[in-house]
């Protein structure tokens, strides 16, 4: 396979996988010596710096990618700095002939990629990018009025007209040999893992970053959970969702693989899994696509209200003590505390509980959604530049196709409905282990529990306050 041609560069980004990686497949096909590089870019404008939990994940994912490439006689070259400088310097250093990557959709990322593409073309280097991480690239679908979509269902219907998507690509059988002597940072020197204190024990117990971990999760989901997905995905104790979100975030598995993996051919003969379960799962993949559609059209989605009238929302000064109680899971509202502790311990939180804790922060504590979004960004292993702000804005009521502001989740009723036996709360709030299911979601009403705080706010009064603030915003509009 070795060739005397100019070296090829494959630049890995949020696509840390060997299978269904069109850029890597293209790089392998050229047959020239190959350099596979990852750039830690903490400097380019408009690219969000990773939070702590994401850094932990990235370390594991890069480590796994390096090992997977080594099995193919290849290596992962690590460089850091502004991606534009690093990539162009590497291309010059190697006298590269081709550069390949899979496309990104954030505003800052697109600007960087466009500048690099121009720089490479100026040097006469062939450069090509591929669709790999979204089923529907944001510019390929528009409303009938030729606008970006703002409502999920028509968006997803339009996206589905492009389905089925292309078949996923197998991992290349063989990779061309690496170029000798190319310098690389050491992963340990990037200091992505926490040391003092090492808060990542719960993350290590919960996750296996990397492509093999992603595939194992997906196989287990198809075999054990998908059959119950539609009926029980809202119940945090049932644990029937896929937990693929961090693997998708880092591109260790692609939506193309998921789509085909749950098709009748992918599931295989004799499957008892109903189409309703498959459709529900695919529609959640659709929500991810929708978030990226929104982010593509509003790159500052994490900072700016999607609906401008929310700019006038009268946020009061932040009550720091209440905010700390929320972060630590000490609000005295059991389902909120269970969720926030799950997050701190494992870097993950069930979707239903994410909605509950977000609503509590924004509406009962009247804290600006951006503050909650930033905490999730730092603590979630799946912190996603599109899904996180889009979901926070959805709960706040300021987003596209959002829950209306006046829909305030009642955490007691939500707990009673979706965690009826109290098992989820007991799992993460051991102080409440002996409280019977009937009382567990409003433990304070039965006189409280030693060692567990009473509620830091009155749910009814704070709900009314939030509704008045919303009314004021509407009147000022």
Q: How far is the CB of 382 from ligand FAD (least distance, A)?
A: 4
Alpha-carbon distances of 25 from 102, 156, 208, 225, 474, rounded to whole Å: 11, 29, 25, 32, 53
Token digits of residue 143: 């409303």
Known catalytic residues are: 284, 287, 315, 351, 369, 392
Task: Give the burial class of 210: count Cβ atoms within 10 A of its Cβ; 0-12 exposed, 13-18 middle, 19 or more buried.
Answer: buried
> Would you state the structure tokens that stand for residue 34, as one six-digit string?
């190959």
The token pair at 208 is 């296996």
Specify the residue, 25 or 242, whose C-beta has the smaller distance to ligand FAD: 242
Rounded to the nearest whole angstrom, what is the least distance from the CB of residue 375 to ligand FAD in the complex?
10
What's the min distance (Å) between Cβ of 236 and ligand FAD?
10
Cα–Cα distance for residue pair 294/366, rounded to 1 Å: 25
Cβ proximity to ligand FAD: between 87 and 373 the closer is 373
Nearer to ligand FAD, 70 or 303 (CB): 303
Distance CA 294, CA 105 (A): 10
Nearest CA among 1, 104, 86, 110 for reference residue 38: 86
Strands (E), 149-269: none
- Compute the least distance from the CB of residue 245 to ligand FAD, in Å: 3
Nearer to ligand FAD, 25 or 102 (CB): 102
Q: Is there a contact between 134 and 292 (Cβ–Cβ < 8 Å)?
A: yes
Least Å distance, CB 275 to ligand FAD, is: 17
Interface residues with ligand FAD (CB under 6 A) are 233, 241-245, 248-249, 284-285, 287-288, 291, 351, 354-355, 358, 376, 380, 382-384, 387-388, 391-392, 395
User: What is the spatial distance between Cα 296 and Cα 273, in angstroms, rounded to a whole number?
Assistant: 34
Task: CB nearer to ligand FAD: give 156 or 392.
Answer: 392
Q: Closest distance between ligand FAD and the C-beta of residue 351, in Å?
A: 3
Nearest CA-CA partner of 194 in 62, 378, 10, 35: 378
- Report how far residue 220's alpha carbon sits from residue 242's, in angstroms, rounded to the nearest whole number: 8
Is the Cβ of residue 187 or residue 356 nearer to ligand FAD in the bound state? 356
Per the document, the length of the chain is: 477
Distance CA 372, CA 359 (A): 10
């Amino acid at each position: 396979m070795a060739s005397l041609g100019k070296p090829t560069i494959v630049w890995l980004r949020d696509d840390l996988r060997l299978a269904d990686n069109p850029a890597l497949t293209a790089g392998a096909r050229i047959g020239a010596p190959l350099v596979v590089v990852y750039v830690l870019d903490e400097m380019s404008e408009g690219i969000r710096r990773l939070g702590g939990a994401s850094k932990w994940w990235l370390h594991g994912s890069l480590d796994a990618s390096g090992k997977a490439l080594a099995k193919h006689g290849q290596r992962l070259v690590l460089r850091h700095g502004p991606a534009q400088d690093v990539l162009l310097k590497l291309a010059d250093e190697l006298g590269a002939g081709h550069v390949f990557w899979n496309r990104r959709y954030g505003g800052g990322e697109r600007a960087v990629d466009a500048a690099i593409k121009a720089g490479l073309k100026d040097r006469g280097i062939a450069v090509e990018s591929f669709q790999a991480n979204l089923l529907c690239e944001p510019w390929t679908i528009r409303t009938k009025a030729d606008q970006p979509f703002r409502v999920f269902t028509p968006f997803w219907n339009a996206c589905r007209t492009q389905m089925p998507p292309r078949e996923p690509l197998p991992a290349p059988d063989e990779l061309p040999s690496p170029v000798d002597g190319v310098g690389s940072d050491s992963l340990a020197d990037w200091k992505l893992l926490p040391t003092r204190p090492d808060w990542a024990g719960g993350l290590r117990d919960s996750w296996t970053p990397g492509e093999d971990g992603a595939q194992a999760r997906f196989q287990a989901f198809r075999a054990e959970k998908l059959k119950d997905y539609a009926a029980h995905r809202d119940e945090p104790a049932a644990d029937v969702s896929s937990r693929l979100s961090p693997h998708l975030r880092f591109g260790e598995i692609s939506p193309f693989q998921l789509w085909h993996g749950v098709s009748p051919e992918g599931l295989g003969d004799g499957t008892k899994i109903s189409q309703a379960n498959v459709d529900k799962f695919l529609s959640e993949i659709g929500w991810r696509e929708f978030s990226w559609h929104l982010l593509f059209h509003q790159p500052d989605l994490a900072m700016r209200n999607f609906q401008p009238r929310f700019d006038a929302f009268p946020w009061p000064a932040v009550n720091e003590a209440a905010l700390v109680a929320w972060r630590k899971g000490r609000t005295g509202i059991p389902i909120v505390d269970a969720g926030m502790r799950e997050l701190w311990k494992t870097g993950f939180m069930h979707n239903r509980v994410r909605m509950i804790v977000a609503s509590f922060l924004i509406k009962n504590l009247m804290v600006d959604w951006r503050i909650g979004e930033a905490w999730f960004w730092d603590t979630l292993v799946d912190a996603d530049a599109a899904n996180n702000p889009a979901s926070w804005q959805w709960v706040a009521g300021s987003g596209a196709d959002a829950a209306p502001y006046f829909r305030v989740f009642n955490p007691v009723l939500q707990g009673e409905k979706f965690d009826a036996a109290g098992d989820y709360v007991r799992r993460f709030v051991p102080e409440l282990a002996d409280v019977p299911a009937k009382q567990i979601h409003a433990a304070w009403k039965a006189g409280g529990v030693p060692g567990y705080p009473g509620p830091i706010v009155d749910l009814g009064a704070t709900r009314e306050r939030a509704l008045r603030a919303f009314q004021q915003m509407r009147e000022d509009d």
